[in-house]
Amino acid sequence: MAQEPKPEPAPAPKPAAKPAPSATVAIRTPAKDMSGSYRIQISSLRSEKAVRDGWARLSKRHSDLLGDLSLNIERKDLGGGKGTYYRMQAGPLASRSAANSLCTRLKQRKLGCIVVRP
């Protein structure tokens, strides 16, 4: 009697392709929804830990200005061998005017600051 051929095993699923590096990726969803609102960017550092540590110091030292804001970290791959940086952003701020005012006050304290549009 002839043996029936054994069925071939199903092919292994192909691994999902790695997504192309995104220009900007939010690392952590902030406690407050920042979509559609202005933010300020205080620094851009080489590691997420450096951003978190820096925010802890700055938000404590300047609690009168930053105390009500949430930290937002954006990962930015600069490409061209420049590496990845993590942007320290705070918000939400209701308007461009409010963000500009806050940046002006931070600059008076010798802190860098730029307004980030929604």
- The predicted model gives 58-74 an average pLDDT of 97
- The predicted model gives 83-108 an average pLDDT of 98
Q: What is the pLDDT of residue 4?
A: 62
Q: What's the CATH number of domain 37-116, 3.30.70.1070, 3.40.50.970, 3.30.565.10, 3.40.50.1820?
A: 3.30.70.1070
Q: Is the pLDDT of residue 31 over 60?
A: no
Signed CA dihedral, 32, 37, 40, 44: sign only: positive
- The span from the CA of 84 to the CA of 87, in Å, is 10
Look up the pTM and report it. 0.71
Domain chopping of the chain, boundaries = 37-116
Cis peptide before 92 (omega within 30 of 0): yes
Do residues 57 and 50 make contact, with C-beta atoms less than 8 angstroms apart?
no
Show Cβ contacts of residue 77 under 8 Å, excluding neighbours closer than 6 positions: 21, 22, 23, 83, 84
Higher-confidence position of 16 and 83: 83
